[in-house]
Amino acid sequence: MGCACSRDGSDYEDKLLEAEDLLPYGSFDTRHIWNLHVKLAKKDHSFSSEKWSKLFKEINCKYPERCERFFDSFKSADETYPVRPLTVLAIMKSNGSPHEKCELIFGLFDTDGSKTIDKTVLQDLITMMFELSVDKLPLLCSSMQPDSDIFNYITGLKENKPKTIIEVTKKFLKSSGKSITDAEFQTFMCSEENQSLLTFTGIRKKIQQTGLSKMT
């Protein structure tokens, strides 16, 4: 019968994209969402429960119950929310240019302001984007039931995710060595070949391509 990830995933992606559209970021400017996250974040790079609730009040948005459960999956034992993954999520789903999104995502990981990150940090960045796409966002999908076709599709993607992360990291560093600058990051991500990696659907399709290449 074969793994669901080896089939055309368009039907599954339609359902996943519909679920992702429950998130409240699509109609908001990328820079505005970024500024709100920066303003409300604590110095330890987390949001308190109070600040997290305040963020949604500031954008005048009450998200559906399904989104509340989704965001709760990020909550730590001390009732705080991690800044990096939630800000990357907001940036990628918001309304902005690819270059602006790249600039802000890179800035989250450029902790010393040098406009350069090394291979380890780059792989952390890519891993976070891939985990949001495959491990987190499918939680929004109501049809994500064990043994369903879409569940099997996501399971297949999870199996191929580590290999794809390594491949993408290697492509990033192919011409730049052991580190990458913000300009190089933007050039790579905004290229015609790679711009789809700024969307969660594009990331999942990239992982699916890796799965298909393993079978040939």
Q: Taken in order 192, 193, 197, 202, is the CA torsion positive or negative?
A: positive
Q: pLDDT tens digits for 31-55? A: 999 999 999 999 889 999 999 988 8
Q: Is residue 213 part of a domain?
A: no
Q: Is residue 36 part of a domain?
A: yes
Q: pLDDT tens digits for 163-196? A: 999 999 999 888 667 889 999 999 999 999 999 9
Q: Is residue 192 part of a domain?
A: yes
Residue 215 has pLDDT above 90, yes or no: no
Q: Residue 115: CA atoms inside 13 Å, Cβ hemisphere, count?
A: 6
Find the angle CA(51)-CA(52)-CA(56) to the nearest 5 degrees. Answer: 110
CA distance 29 to 25: 8
Q: What is the pTM of this model?
A: 0.91
pLDDT at res. 211: 74
CA distance 174 to 162: 18
pLDDT at res. 212: 67
Q: Which domain holds residue 133?
A: 9-208
Q: Is residue 29 part of a domain?
A: yes
Residue 64 has pLDDT above 80, yes or no: no
State the total domains in the chain: 1
**Nearest of 180, 203, 186, 8 to residue 93 by alpha carbon:** 203
Q: pLDDT tens digits for 97-110? A: 999 999 999 999 99
Q: Is residue 3 part of a domain?
A: no
Sequential DSSP letters for the chain: ---GGGS--HHHHHHHHHHHTTSTTTTSBHHHHHHHHHHH--TTSEEEHHHHHHHHHHTT----HHHHHHHHTT--TTSEEEHHHHHHHHHHHSB--HHHHHHHHHHHH-TTSSSEEEHHHHHHHHHHHHHIIIIIGGGG-TT--TTSHHHHHHHHHHHHHHHHHHHHHHHHHTTTTTEEEHHHHHHHHTSTTTGGGGSHHHHHHHHHHHHHHHH-
Q: Is residue 4 part of a domain?
A: no
Q: pLDDT tens digits for 132-165? A: 999 999 999 888 888 889 999 999 999 999 999 9
Q: Is residue 122 part of a domain?
A: yes
pLDDT at res. 8: 56
Q: Is residue 2 part of a domain?
A: no
